[in-house]
Amino acid sequence: MKRDSLGNQAEQSDFNIHISLFADLSMYRVKDRQVDSGSQRVLMTHVNFSGCQFRTHLEIPARTDVQWVLKAKLGHYTTALKAIIVSGIQEDGLFRYEASWKMTAAERYSYQVRLNEYLQTMLISSPDILAFYRRISERYVFGGFRQFDVSS
């Protein structure tokens, strides 16, 4: 297993979907206390099943005891994804952060379905890419990334 910048185990089998989405970032929880904060528009640049990268002008510390919500529109649905920020760097006058999703199994499944529907809409002109993506996402859910035959 790979480890992220906080030393947590990270999925090796995850892959990034290079789409750009605007999302509204707001603080959700600090330790055990729920927080009602305002939101800030951010640009999510890499999205996957375990998290995302996003850019903003805000300087945010990477802390495991602070949860954030990223609200983004995936096609016809608005998703509210809870996350923690695991790392951040400053580049080109902005900060780029990596966030890890904090979801229950049911939330993760619902998110995957919404992401699949969104990608189907976005990739409608590329059915081969869509079929490939579906096969990868199904193997991710069922832990089937031990062997992957790209020729079939």
Mean pLDDT of the chain: 79
The torsion angles phi and psi of 145, rounded to 5 degrees, stand at -95, 15
Whether pLDDT at 148 is above 80: no
The pLDDT value given to residue 132: 72
Could you tell me if residue 67 is left (phi over 0), alpha (psi between -120 and 50 degrees) or otherwise beta? beta
The torsion angles phi and psi of 119, rounded to 5 degrees, stand at -65, -35
Give per-residue pLDDT as tens, 72-129.
998 888 999 999 999 999 988 899 999 999 999 999 998 888 888 887 777 665 666 6
Architecture of domain 2-103: Beta Barrel (2.40)
Whether pLDDT at 136 is above 50: yes
Q: Where are the domains of the chain?
A: 2-103
Q: How confident is the model at residue 130 (pLDDT cuts 50, 70, 90)?
A: low
- Give the C-alpha separation, 140 to 8, whole Å: 19
The pLDDT value given to residue 64: 92
pTM: 0.69
For residues 25 and 40, the answer to whether their CB atoms sit within 8 Å is yes
Alpha helices in 84-123 (DSSP H): 105-122
